[in-house]
Amino acid sequence: DTAVSQTPKYLVTQMGNDKSIKCEQNLGHDTMYWYKQDSKKFLKIMFSYNNKELIINETVPNRFSPKSPDKAHLNLHINSLELGDSAVYFCASSQALAPYEQYFGPGTRLTVT
Amino acid sequence: QKEVEQNSGPLSVPEGAIASLNCTYSDRGSQSFFWYRQYSGKSPELIMSIYSNGDKEDGRFTAQLNKASQYVSLLIRDSQPSDSATYLCAVNQAGTALIFGKGTTLSVSS
């Protein structure tokens, strides 16, 4: 069974489009995260939700909007995509907020042309 | 700004040797320390967590933490070619985001 899953795995789209990435975890965890890994492989937190409540919102353009319909799901919607949004987006989950261990999904490679 | 520093490498070791990966962090209030392994094109995989000063061993892996020196390391004994990957150090305080280093690339030659 996949613990943290994401769809789609690859996403190729044009500038200006709107797209969504979905994440689901079956670990029974309370906390979920979105991370962005850029072309230099630097992994950075974007958002964190705990029990469907937004806890961490790093300096991210407001074109990015996370939504957590329930504890097991965390989606990321991106409006007006830009070239600089091209990256790999990882979803992760943990039992609760830090210091608990985080487990990552397989990632979504977004390419904006 | 909270930072986690790692030598980007590549760190090259022969098969069977000990690989030593190092990490320093700037936030003295950090409480949790993690090592992730990331193969090219794959997601980060948690391999070790450590919360208190000293050593923690798990199979061929040993994590070492020295909070006074703000230093955490990962030793990989009997390195195998399958250990070739990027190793990410991550640090956080209670309730805050994980801060990742930029990773050290390890290459184990057979």
* A107:B43 CB<8 A: yes
Give the model's pLDDT for residue B16. Answer: 97
Give the model's pLDDT for residue A99. Answer: 82
Work out the burial of residue B87: count CB atoms within 10 Å of its CB; fewer than 13 is exposed, 13-18 middle, 19 or more buried.
Answer: buried
How far A23 CA lies from chain B's nearest CA (Å)?
14
Instruction: Convert the pLDDT of each residue in B69-104 to its tens digit.
Output: 999 999 999 999 999 999 999 998 777 788 999 999
Q: In the predicted model, what is the mean pLDDT of residues B24-30?
A: 92
Question: How far is B13 from B66, CA to CA, in rounded Å?
Answer: 25
How far B5 CA lies from chain A's nearest CA (Å)?
12
* B92:A99 CB<8 A: yes
The residue type of B1 is Q
> Which of B94, B96, B102 lies nearest to residue A41, judging by beta carbons?
B102
